[in-house]
Amino acid sequence: MAKKITIALAGNPNSGKTTIFNALTGSNQHVGNYPGVTVEKVEGRVKYGEYDINIIDLPGTYSLTANSMDELVARHFIIEEKPDVIVNIVDSSNLERNLYLSTQIMELGVPMVLAFNMHDIALGNGVEIDKNLLSELLGRPIVFVIGTKKIGVEKILEEAISLIEGKFHIGDVNIRYGKDLEGEIAKLEDIIIKDKELVSRYSPCWVAIKSLENDKEVIKRLRNSPFANEFFEQLKTSMYHLKVIFSDEAEAVIADRRYGFISGACSEATKITKEDRHTLSDKIDRVMINRVLGFPIFLGLMWLVFQFSFKVSEPVMGWIETGIGLLGDLVGKFFPEGSPIQSLAVDGVIAGVGGVLVFVPIIFLMFFAIAILEYSGYMARAAFIMDRLMHKIGLHGRSFIPMLLGFGCNVPAIMATRTIEDRRDRLVTILVSPFMSCGARLPVYALFIGAFFPQKIAGNVLFSLYLLGIMVAVVSAKVFRKYVFRGEAAPFVMELPPYRIPTLKAVVINMCQRGMVYLKKAGTIILAGCLVIWFLSNFPWNPSYSKDFDALVEKADDNQELVTRLENEKSLEKLEKSYAGIIGKAITPVFRPLGIHDWRLPVGLIGGFVAKEIVVGTLGTLYSVGEADEESVPLKEALQNAVRPDGSKTYNPLVAYSIMVFMLLYVPCIAVIAVIKRETNSWRWPIFTVFYTTAVAWVLACIVYQVGNLFGLGN
């Protein structure tokens, strides 16, 4: 019977950890969430000899200090879940920086294999590592790995098994913190060991060190200790004593000692064979992050991402729409014509599923392009380029990528905020990203601009809407940062990884993992929302009509034009008397300050909550022109000719612009709300987003209309 063991992969961001995980597990992976948090839990299985190995890919982290959610999750898993072996992935070309995490794992006293990845890059940079000597100095087995070529990957499992079977003796290596610091650590340890429950789970030395580092989670745990008063009194004394001696905080002194240990070990076991070296990455960066050229290059690459995502996905989306239509026609034949069950199956379930599937190509392709940029090492440069600008509005450099992606689709934009480590920066970015005008709103703009604005200024009108979305996002970010998420934006500290050629396998796996999250989470809620809208739009099923439409259609059987008009009138009257129509009429007074007096438009906006794309089609039904898109001449004419009870025109250019401003800013589609729920792991923020975006939309659209009226633009 196979022996089951668990191996956890830990490492710095950009150390190649995910590449090695993919090489070890292949497609045998599963993505979920760690309990109670939104951080993804990626795990896979591999068979090695007589062992059935469960491999956990821990979030990338620079240290085990509990500052960010990723760090907390990684540390919690190592300490609480107690995997059999930790495989620490280390970037061989940047040893001293990467080994800082290694020293912290060593302090936990857990079995660990050091996988020195990118060994080829280190050799190319002139770094030679004496593996045996460094292994002896660190007291842990070391494996040289080239993850992209799968070189040394199996050796990782071999060394891990050797640790489990006791074939490799873990050296008794301790970091020397110096007499004064070690003396204070010992005093704290003497108190900690009194708490038997605590020391049964954690190393007393590790708890003492983390306390001196003012680790929030450890401090919180110690407050519940029966010896808390004695401990915190000693901690206060120790920290004061160390401050007097070193003229610095204990945390800084501990970090300095760790780096000193690392530097000493590396000096002994590594040799630089190239004194004056400029790597290929350095040469590329002279252009890519150049003060003058960096920003235009970045914009050009982002433009290519959008072009690739939209152009390649466009025909596939068309095939999916056609397929959904054919499936609806086929399924509809199995149910009585015109029955509720037929409508539910075709207009509710199949149309709802289609609403999910039609976005799959663009979302998967966008994630594919982003994964290429990430694995190549460029995405870190993009954040570096934009950091200065983003800090001026209180955001992190990493916030720019999600906001830019919002111009394509807000769903991947929200999901892309995972790269932002600071929780406040991440939440602010999530809350302002929906103001970026996604492609789904474009058909509505095209319809109203085409109907009410001359061709020569159409481009300017469209540009003004995109610009307004950016301005609202910037102002909102400033307000959130000042009043809701107070504090300085997290400093931008990021290493620029070497450029690499991404492997197709890694890119595809990354794309599939992210895309499946959309299908599993957002898809279910979109379908539910579509069913709700179907119910509201179709019930009561048989209202009392103003005339006998069926009899009139039967009489006009030879006049197809009359039949079509009667059927459209019946559909309109049914919708007007449906729950959606009743709601639309009830909320129309709320829209009158925006210049909107026709109940049909609010009904269309309600449909936009499910997906912005269906607004134009809904208006086509409401205005009795049948199926319609943004190029529909009959729908444009219907809007131009619509009149209010007093005989005045319902719409004019000012009202049209007010409508577009509201469309730009009001509640994002249900897919975005679903993703916000998933990414924040709370209903608080998606519900807040529904109300605050709609409030902002109403206020600004009202200002546009009322100010325009003052200047006579509404006439």
Determine the Cα–Cα distance for residues 674 and 689; give it in Å rounded to an integer. 11
Predicted TM-score (pTM) of the model is: 0.62
Q: Which one, of 603, 628, 623, lies nearest residue 533 by Cα?
A: 603
* Domains identified in the chain and CATH numbers: 3-164 (3.40.50.300), 179-272 (1.10.287.1770)
Determine the Cα–Cα distance for residues 277 and 125; give it in Å rounded to an integer. 7
- Model confidence at 67, in pLDDT bands (50, 70, 90)? low
CA distances from 457 to 319, 445, 452 (A): 34, 13, 11
Query: pLDDT averaged over the chain?
Result: 80
Q: Report the interhelical angle of 250-269 vs 228-246 (nearest 10°).
A: 70
CA 82 to chain centre: 29
**630 Cβ neighbours under 8 A, 6+ residues apart:** 442, 443, 444, 446, 447, 450, 616
Tens digits of per-residue pLDDT, 146-166?
988 888 889 999 999 988 888
Give the range with max mean pLDDT: 298-307, 337-346, 579-588, 698-707. 698-707
Tens digits of per-residue pLDDT, 91-122?
988 888 889 898 888 888 788 999 999 888 88
pLDDT at 472: 92
pLDDT at 517: 62
As a whole-number percent, the residues of the chain with pLDDT over 90 amount to: 12
Strand 127-129 versus strand 270-272 pairing type: antiparallel
Secondary structure (H, E, C), 99-119: HHHHHHHHHHCCCEEEEEECH
- Looking at residue 396, its amino acid is H
Q: What mean pLDDT is predicted for residues 126-143?
A: 88
CA 702 to chain centre: 32
pLDDT at 678: 81
In the numeric block, the tokens 């500052």 are attached to 67
- Model confidence at 411, in pLDDT bands (50, 70, 90)? confident
Side-chain-facing half-sphere of 84: CA atoms under 13 Å: 19
Q: What mean pLDDT is predicted for residues 579-584?
A: 83
Determine the Cα–Cα distance for residues 513 and 33; give it in Å rounded to an integer. 12
Determine the Cα–Cα distance for residues 146 and 132; give it in Å rounded to an integer. 18
Instruction: Supply the DSSP symbol for 150.
Output: T
CA 31 to chain centre: 15
Burial class of 393 by CB neighbour count within 10 A (0 to 12, 13 to 18, 19+): middle
37 pLDDT exceeds 60? no
Position with higher pLDDT, 306 vs 286: 286
- Model confidence at 698, in pLDDT bands (50, 70, 90)? very high
Q: Which bin fits 345, alpha (ψ -120 to 50), beta or left (φ > 0)?
A: alpha
Length of the chain: 715
- Looking at residue 232, its amino acid is F
| Contact predicate 489/399, CB 8 Å | no
Q: Which own/partner pairs from 650-655 qualify as long-range (CB within 8 Å, at least 24 positions apart)?
A: 650/597, 650/598, 651/451, 651/452, 652/452, 652/714, 652/715, 653/452, 653/453, 653/713, 654/595, 654/704, 654/705, 654/708, 654/709, 654/713, 654/714, 655/594, 655/595, 655/596, 655/705, 655/714
Structure tokens that stand for 658 in this block: 């007010």
Q: Which residues pair with 356 in a beta bridge?
A: none
Structure tokens that stand for 136 in this block: 């002896």
pLDDT at 35: 47
CA distances from 327 to 321, 354, 523, 629, 677 (A): 10, 10, 19, 21, 31
